Structure 1
Amino acid sequence: MSTEHPRIQLNDTIVMPQFGLGVWQASDSEATVAVREAIAAGYLAIDTAAIYKNEAAVGEGVRQAGKPRDQVFITTKVWNDDQGYDTAIKALQSSLKRLRMDYVDLLLIHWAQPAKDLYLETWQALIELKKRGLTRSIGVSNFHAPHLRRIIDETGETPSVNQIELHPYLQQHPLREVHQQLGIHTEAWSPLAQGKAMDDPVLKQIAAKHGKDVAQVIIRWHLDSGLIVIPKSVTPSRIRSNAQVFDFRLDAEEMAAIAELDRGQRLGPNPDTY
């Protein structure tokens, strides 16, 4: 079995690593170390956001790692306060200054915020930013099917990715089916259920069978499900451990057992009302 980190071709032909590091809630000092250690451990993708307030630290971590910029896939996001055409344009320009980079690989609208009704205008800004070469690919985060269909119908441009809360307790099958129909790749945030699944007996049994820990089994489940996954950690040993998932696979019985864990248990806000 190959131990190389897998990649996925997005609908715009951009190739994205299927596995990466998330830095939500990481302080500047934590983010720099985490990014540097992750790249040293073989991570090819880093996911940040303007609202995380650590873009500058992420950029510094990439530089400290010494890997060429074009070999690290960087994602950032337009925050809710920056929705709207002109403000979204300026928001990415500010993110790039903080990152000290000429472009990002993937730019997402962080939340649909349907009550504000600015996500279509913001999507039009992302289309323009892609044309300018300031981002290689564009997508969304926390969008539901009506939000997705609206921006596609109005602009003709389909997001390459929808990053959503997804873990064994919230498997999001209906939305994933919509993604498949539309040609959108599903990316999971909080893939480890913020630690709430670590004592699950089903997952512990599977982990014991493979000589792995529960976090590794959950990450492997995401990969075997065809999902893009970005587990967050600021602990170097855990960052390395989370990457030790390319030397085993889950069988059909194990995948079926994990499928039974779905509770529809949302840990974050509901995108329809947030």
Structure 2
Amino acid sequence: MQLITNAQQLKMPKLGLGTWPMLDGECTSAVIQALELGYRHIDTAAGYNNEAAVGRGLTESGVPRGDIHVTSKVWWDKLAPDAMRESFQNTLNALQSDYIDLFLIHWPGQEGWDVKAAIDTLVSFKQDGRALNIGVANFPLPLLRHVVEDLNAPLAAIQVEYHVTLGQSALLDYARQHDMALTAYSPLVRNKVSQIPELQAIAKKHGVLPTQVALKWLLDQDNVAAIPKAASKANQQSNLDALKVQLDDEDRRIIATLPKDQRLVSPDFAPEWD
């Protein structure tokens, strides 16, 4: 499994297991199964209500904790410093770990939130060694630029929705310029990629699945990781097998013609994207 590495000492496998919206036993079983298959990157969040289930999976798998990259996140309504610290400790407790590999602010706060205080608190988790790396999720480019350039936050990654029908070229260019990974969530367009004729044709040409084409398109990109949710062993293995797919320039040209404005995730508390 190829790793994304950077000056912050990030070592994140390019393909991970997304765990939303799995809960309880289903989530624990999926984590154990994924680790048995060879996954070493697990993504969770306080807002998913499954960190404890993920923690049980990590512990029961028998895979050494140091061999697994775990990402988690603090919810947008817990960004005041004291609330962030409490949420972070709750995350560590739930994951049954004394550190986390990558800890993110899940969404920007609402109007008037104290960005500097939140970022300072996030940075403190890295400084005390309990977060090996820090980052943000769902930050539009102007806010990301403010955090990196004005607040000098040592971010290692940004996580955003990114797939064959939603472009993120500006964020990705910025991430590369600043030695940050970009993790793509909803990389399979919530399983809608299998209904896209162009992907069906590319998949047929290579004897693979449209989901594998969509994943490999992302994984072929520098600095990009992807975290598809998969509960079944078959789907987890299928996503792993996407790593073997060989796309060519014509495939990429066709994918480039697809619309790139199809955003799936934009809750009421989302920021202005443009």
TM-score (norm 1): 0.94
Distance in 2 between residues matched to 1:95 and 1:42, nearest whole Å? 24
1:184 aligns with 2:180: yes
- Identify the match of residue 242 of structure 2 among 241, 245, 248: 245
- SS of the residue corresponding to residue 70 of structure 2 reads strand
Distance in 1 between residues matched to 2:203 and 2:112, nearest whole Å? 44
The aligned counterpart of 2:226 is 229
Identity of aligned residues (%): 36
Deviations 1:111-165 (A, max 9, x none): 1135242333211111101111111000000011111121123332231111001
The aligned counterpart of 2:29 is 33
- Identify the match of residue 195 of structure 1 among 191, 199, 216: 191
Contact kept in structure 1, 2:45 and 2:71, CA below 8 Å: yes
The aligned counterpart of 2:160 is 164
TM-score (norm 2): 0.94
Distance in 2 between residues matched to 1:212 and 1:129, nearest whole Å? 42
- Number of aligned residue pairs: 270
- SS of the residue corresponding to residue 117 of structure 2 reads helix
The aligned counterpart of 1:272 is 271
Distance in 2 between residues matched to 1:157 and 1:189, nearest whole Å? 23
Distance in 2 between residues matched to 1:103 and 1:81, nearest whole Å? 22
- SS of the residue corresponding to residue 156 of structure 1 reads coil
- Identify the match of residue 69 of structure 1 among 61, 65, 68: 65
- Identify the match of residue 205 of structure 1 among 201, 205, 219: 201
The aligned counterpart of 1:52 is 48
Contact kept in structure 2, 1:49 and 1:77, CA below 8 Å: yes
Distance in 2 between residues matched to 1:211 and 1:153, nearest whole Å? 46
For 1:74, give the aligned amino acid.
Answer: V
Deviations 1:204-242 (A, max 9, x none): 111112211111111111111231100001122111111
For 2:260, give the aligned amino acid.
Answer: R
- Identify the match of residue 263 of structure 1 among 241, 246, 260: 260
Distance in 2 between residues matched to 1:159 and 1:80, nearest whole Å? 18
Distance in 2 between residues matched to 1:95 and 1:121, nearest whole Å? 20
Larger mean Cα displacement after TM superposition, 255-264 or 221-230: 255-264
Shift of 1:266: 0.7
Written as runs of structure 1 = structure 2, the 5 A alignment for 1:120-135 is 120-135=116-131
Distance in 1 between residues matched to 2:258 and 2:116, nearest whole Å? 35
Cα RMSD, aligned residues only: 1.5
Unaligned runs of 5+ in 1: none
Distance in 2 between residues matched to 1:102 and 1:39, nearest whole Å? 20
